[in-house]
Amino acid sequence: MSILDRELARAANAGVAPNKPCDAAGMALILTNLDLANRVNYKPGMAELWADSMALWCVKRHREPFTYTELAAAVLDMTTTTGSGFAQPAELWNAVGAFQASLVREALAGRREVPLPEIVEGWTGGRALAYQAAWRRAVLQGAATDSEREARALAACQLTPAPDSPRISKPLTKISHMAVKAV
């Protein structure tokens, strides 16, 4: 069982729905984790204010509010990769938004073994449509590259030279013409 699975089980025991927008109870769990990692100075009563701040941040950016799962995954990542704290709620939301965007970029670029991170499975509405549109664009761009290569009758190796091989600075016809004159 991963750390994220344990966090989700702990949230379920506390009555927090993992795939619903994070409410004050879920925010209290998130802020407690951040306080234990010395990233936030958590005081009682902060959870409601930070939950409202998150909802406002998401509305301004035209996205659905973060779910508890998204926040928990981002916080777990931040507690191991970054050393800075969050004095203001907006700093945390910017970091969580950047983390979620990086997951989608990595999935679209094929740098992940799984097609999508588990976090994305609960997406609904506009976020799911935006992901599907981005995926279609990436697939069409790859197909366009393949068809362009085939239309010009280029081998795949001509599009991607070896990393250590020097590039030929003169056209191949000019080199062969010089070789004929020399003979």
CB of 64 closer than 8 Å to CB of 58: yes
- 16 located within any domain: yes
| Number of domains the chain contains | 1
Asked whether residue 26 is assigned to any structural domain, the reply reads: yes
Classify residue 179: in a domain, yes or no: no
DSSP reduced 3-state for 38: coil
Q: What is the pLDDT at residue 123?
A: 61
Q: Is 163 among the domain residues?
A: no
| Predicted pLDDT at 60 | 81
Whether residue 170 lies inside any domain: the answer is: no
Q: How far is CA 65 from the centre of its chain?
A: 16
Determine, yes or no, domain membership for 144. Answer: no
Q: How far apart are CA 52 and CA 142, in angstroms?
A: 41
Q: Which residue has the tokens 């609904």?
A: 124
7: containing domain = 3-123
User: Which pLDDT score is estimated for 167?
Assistant: 47
Dist. CA 106–CA 111, nearest whole Å:
5
Q: For the chain, 183 residues long, give each residue's pLDDT as a single digit of tens.
A: 677 788 888 888 888 888 888 888 888 888 887 887 777 778 888 888 888 888 888 888 877 888 888 888 888 777 666 666 676 777 888 888 888 777 777 766 665 443 444 445 556 666 666 766 666 565 556 555 555 545 554 444 444 444 444 444 444 444 444 444 444
Answer whether residue 102 is part of any domain. yes
Tokens (6 digits) for 93: 């939301």
Could you tell me if residue 77 is inside a domain?
Answer: yes
Q: How far apart are CA 127 and CA 24, in angstroms?
A: 23
